[in-house]
Amino acid sequence: TIILAIESSCDETSASVIINGKIKSNIVATQEVHHKYGGVVPELASRAHQKNIVPVVDQALKEAEVQKSELSAIAFTKGPGLLGALLVGASFAKSMAAALNIPLIGVNHMQAHILAHFIDEPQPQFPFLCLTVSGGHTQLVMVRSHLDMEVIGETQDDAVGEAFDKTAKILGLPYPGGPLIDKYAQKGNPLAFEFPMVSTEGLSFSFSGIKTSFLYFFRKKVQENQNFVDENIEDICASVQHTLIKILMNKLRKAAAKHKVKNIGIAGGVSANSGLRKAVKEEGEKKGWDVFIPEFEYCTDNAAMIAITAHYKYLAGEFESLNVSPNPRMKFSGTR
Ligand code: ATP
Ligand code: MG
Ligand code: FE
pLDDT, tens digit, 9 for 90 and up, residues 177-219: 999 999 999 999 999 999 988 788 999 999 999 989 999 999 9
pLDDT, tens digit, 9 for 90 and up, residues 202-213: 999 999 999 899
Please tell me the predicted confidence (pLDDT) of residue 44: 94
Closest listed ligand to the CA of 135:
1
Distance 243 CA to ligand 3 centre (A): 22
Please tell me the predicted confidence (pLDDT) of residue 153: 97
Question: Residue range 234-238: average pLDDT?
Answer: 98
pLDDT, tens digit, 9 for 90 and up, residues 79-136: 999 999 999 999 999 999 999 999 999 999 999 999 999 999 999 999 999 999 999 9
Q: Is the pTM of this model over 0.90?
A: yes
Pocket of ligand 1 (CB under 6 A): 9-10, 80-81, 109, 113, 134-137, 161, 164-165, 176, 178-179, 182, 268-270, 272-273, 300-301
Question: Looking at the predicted structure, is the pLDDT value of residue 60 above 50?
Answer: yes
Question: Looking at the predicted structure, is the pLDDT value of residue 334 above 50?
Answer: no
Question: Residue range 239-249: average pLDDT?
Answer: 98
Identify the band that residue 336 occupies on the pLDDT scale cut at 50, 70 and 90: very low
Please tell me the predicted confidence (pLDDT) of residue 197: 81
Angle, CA of 137, 304 and 264, to the nearest 5°? 50
Q: How many angstroms separate the CA atoms of 101 and 176, rounded? A: 39
CA dihedral of 233, 237, 240, 242, whole degrees rounded to 10: -140
Distance 173 CA to ligand 3 centre (A): 21
Please tell me the predicted confidence (pLDDT) of residue 83: 98
Question: Looking at the predicted structure, is the pLDDT value of residue 1 above 90?
Answer: yes
| Strand partners of residue 13 | 29
Q: How many angstroms separate the CA atoms of 251 and 210, rounded? A: 16
Distance 51 CA to ligand 1 centre (A): 23
Q: Is there a contact between 14 and 56 (Cβ–Cβ < 8 Å)?
A: yes
Please tell me the predicted confidence (pLDDT) of residue 198: 79
Q: Residue 51: CB partners within 8 Å, gap ≥ 6? A: none
Please tell me the predicted confidence (pLDDT) of residue 333: 65
Full 3-state SS string of the chain: CEEEEEECCCCEEEEEEEECCEEEEEEEEECCCCHHHCCCCHHHHHHHHHHHHHHHHHHHHHHHCCCHHHCCEEEEEEECCCHHHHHHHHHHHHHHHHHHCCCEEEEEHHHHHHHHHHCCCCCCCCCEEEEEECCCCEEEEEEEECCEEEEEEEECCCCHHHHHHHHHHHCCCCCCCHHHHHHHHCCCCCCCCCCCCCCCCCCCECCHHHHHHHHHHHHHHHHHCCCHHHHHHHHHHHHHHHHHHHHHHHHHHHHHHHCCCCEEEEECHHHHCHHHHHHHHHHHHHHCCEEECCCHHHCCCCCHHHHHHHHHHHHHCCCECCCCCCCCCCCHHHHC
Question: Looking at the predicted structure, is the pLDDT value of residue 158 above 60?
Answer: yes
Closest listed ligand to the CA of 29:
2
Question: Looking at the predicted structure, is the pLDDT value of residue 335 above 70?
Answer: no
Question: Residue range 73-83: average pLDDT?
Answer: 98
The complex's ipTM works out to: 0.99
Question: Looking at the predicted structure, is the pLDDT value of residue 261 above 50?
Answer: yes
Q: Which atom of ligand 1 is nearest to the CA of 81?
A: 4
Q: Which of 59-63, 316-320, 331-335 has the lowest mean pLDDT?
A: 331-335
